[in-house]
Structure 1
Amino acid sequence: MEGDRRVGVAVDFSPCSKKALTWAVDNVVRDGDHLILVTVQPEVDYEQGEMQLWEATGSPLIPLVELSDPVVMKKYGLKPDPETLDILNTLAREKEVVVLLKIYWGDAREKICEAIDKIPLSCLIIGNRGLGKIKRAIMGSVSNYVVNNGSCPVTVVKLGHEI
C-alpha cells in the first residue's frame, strides 16, 4: 500500500457512520485509493481463539469479500447492514477502490487514534451522533476526542435530519 492514499472511515454500522461513509465516498475517495473501515467493538473477555491474539493489535485487514460474508463476520461478532455493503461493493466496482476493514476492541476514542497511526491513515472521516451537551459531557464525544488527538486530518460528518 506504499504511496497510495489510505482513507479511513470510522464505522459502527449506525445511521451516523453510514452518513460518514456516504460522505467519504462522494467527496474524498478517488480511483486507486484504499478505503479502510475502522470499527471498535467493546472489550470482551475472550477465553481462547483468534480474537484473544488480536486484542492488542486489532484484527488483520479484512478484504471486502470477507466483509460481505455473513459467516466470516459472525466470527468477528459483526453484522454489517446490507445498505453499507451495497455502498462498499458499488464503490469498489466503480472507482476501483480497495476496501478493507480493521476491527479493534476496547475504547473507541483510543483505538481510532491508534488506527490512524498504526495503519497509517492519510485522513479519517467520522460520524457524529449529535448528542446534547449533557449526554456528551457524561458519555464523552468520540469524534471530539479523535479531532483533538488524531495525527491526521479528521473530518466530522454530522447526522442530519435527511436520513
Structure 2
Amino acid sequence: MAKRHVGVASDFSPCSRAALRWASRNVVRSGDRLVLVHVVSCYQKEQGVVHLWERTGSPLIPFNELSDPSVAKRYGISPDKETLDILAHVANLQGVEVVAKIYWGDPMKKLFEAIESMPLHCLVMGSRGLSKVKRAFLGSVSRYCVNNATCPVTVVKEQSK
C-alpha cells in the first residue's frame, strides 16, 4: 500500500490542536506521512528563509528539527509544547513519519497550494468558530478548502471544556 500524505493545518491554536488530536486518532495509520502545514500570514520580507521559500513553501522539515528552537526561529514559527507533544506521540507510537511544511502568505491560498503541490491525500483542519457576521467579512479558510480542495477535507470543531 502506498504511503498516504495526511495534512493537518496548524496555526498552533487550541482549535488546530484539536484537529491534530482528531487526525492522530481517526485518520493517521502506521506507514503514513503526517504533514503539519503552517502558514505564516504576517511576516517581514527581510526574514532570511522567506526570500528562499516564499513562493513554494519550505522544504519538508522532519519532526526532530521542528522541535529544535533554532530551526523554529529560522522559519519564523513558534510551535507550542502541546502540539509538539502530540506530534511526538504520533511519530513514536504509531510509526508515522511526521514532517512540517511552512508557507508564507494568505492562509486560504497557501493551504490550497499545499493540497495540490504535495499532493495531500486528505486535509484535517480546525474551525475557529467565527460568527456569521465575522465569517462574512473575514471569509472562512475552512469553508474555502472544503469547497475547492481536490482531496477530502475534514473540519474539526474544538470541544467545549
Q: TM-score range by the shorter chain?
A: over 0.9
Q: What's the TM-score once normalised by structure 2's chain length?
A: 0.96
> For this pair of structures, how many residues does the alignment match?
161
What per-residue deviation string (whole Å, max 9, x for no partner) do you get for residues 101-140 of structure 1? 0000111011001100101100000100111000111111
Identity of aligned residues (%): 59
Residue 82 of structure 2 aligns with an amino acid whose one-letter code is: E
Is 1:155 matched with 2:140? no
| SS across alignment from 2:45 | coil
For 1:25, the equivalent position in structure 2 comes to 24
For 2:36, the equivalent position in structure 1 comes to 37
Deviation at 1:142, TM superposition (A): 0.6
Stretch moving more, 49-58 or 145-154: 49-58
- Counterparts in 2 of 1:83 and 1:45: CA distance versus 1, 3 Å: closer
For 1:73, the equivalent position in structure 2 comes to 72
For 2:112, the equivalent position in structure 1 comes to 113
Deviation at 1:43, TM superposition (A): 4.9
Is 1:96 matched with 2:95? yes
Is 1:46 matched with 2:30? no
Which 4+ runs in 1 deviate beyond 2 A?
Answer: 47-50
For 1:58, the equivalent position in structure 2 comes to 57
Alpha-carbon distance between aligned partners in 1 of 2:7 and 2:59, rounded to the nearest angstrom: 15
Residue 87 of structure 1 aligns with an amino acid whose one-letter code is: I
| SS across alignment from 1:29 | coil
- In structure 2, the gaps of 5 or more residues are none
Q: What's the TM-score once normalised by structure 1's chain length?
A: 0.95
Is 1:145 matched with 2:141? no
Tell me how large the CA RMSD over aligned residues is: 1.3
| SS across alignment from 1:44 | coil
For 2:127, the equivalent position in structure 1 comes to 128
| SS across alignment from 1:143 | helix
- In structure 1, the gaps of 5 or more residues are none
Q: Do the aligned residues in 1 keep the contact of 2:38 with 2:103 (CA within 8 Å)?
A: yes
